[in-house]
Amino acid sequence: MNIIEQAIEKLSNSMRIYKETSSDFERLRKIDYEEAINNLDRAFESKLEKFHSLYDVLKSNFDYFSNADTSLLISIRNAIHHRNHPLFNSLNYEMHLKSGMKKKAGAKFLFVNHNSTTENISEYYYKLEDILNRVDTSKNSPFVDSRTSILKSKQLVSLLNTELNFTNIIEYSQKERYPLNQVYINIIPIYISAISKIANHITNYDIALNGFDSKVYIEHFKSNNLVDTNDITYKTLRVLYQ
């Protein structure tokens, strides 16, 4: 198995493990909420790591940074991998393990989803503010990626605004008076969109899908237009006083 095929198989394995962990979340949280949340967070972070591993061996023939979804996932993975900042803790972690339900009692949150065209999509949320503070140098955030030049930052922000409709999302949140740290974006549809691009790209190369997980997941994501990034749904949640 060549290195690309191996990276694809490991990525596919990680997607299966995340799906299994997500399916077990409701059962496990009734027994041990902390374990359920940590299991899901580590499984999602593993998907990001394996996504980056494929990037390492595929970047010479696929331009990850010409797409908002693929470049954003690389940025989030790098931020979590190096972890020299407090960004990118999941919604579950913030609310249930860091006393967010108590600290944010009375606050109203906005949840943003890019909608699937074919199926129900699971939910895994990061703060919109965390994304902007990491990738947008114009925010003057102390947590911005120091390796990102102003030019690259502008290019990525432009992609996020045009391809993932961040401009519209931010305008909507401001109009409805949501602080950015109370706006969460579901990363799952963005991940699906990114994997779909890569799955369709590798069909142009002589890459064998030898493992069971690869055959199942990559074949599934070859479907075109799995996510409509122009079709956005907003949900709200007010945290009740404890």
3-state SS of 206-234 is: CCCCCCHHHHHHHHHHCCCCCEEEEEEEE
The whole-model pTM stands at: 0.95
CA dist., res. 68 & res. 12, Å (int): 21
Q: What percent of the chain has pLDDT over 90?
A: 76
Stated as kind and residue range, the H or E segment containing 43 is helix 33-58
Burial class (CB in 10 A: 0-12, 13-18, 19+), 106: exposed
- Averaged pLDDT for residues 122-128: 96
Question: Domain segments of the chain: what residues?
Answer: 3-238
Distances (CA, A) of 31 to 24, 41, 120, 235, 242: 11, 17, 26, 28, 22
CA dist., res. 29 & res. 37, Å (int): 8
Task: Give me the residues paired with residue 113 across strands.
Answer: 233
- Please give the mean pLDDT across all residues of the chain: 92
Task: Give me the residues paired with residue 125 across strands.
Answer: 186
For the cut 60, the answer to whether the pLDDT of residue 69 exceeds it is yes
Given pLDDT bands bounded at 50, 70 and 90, which one contains residue 2?
confident
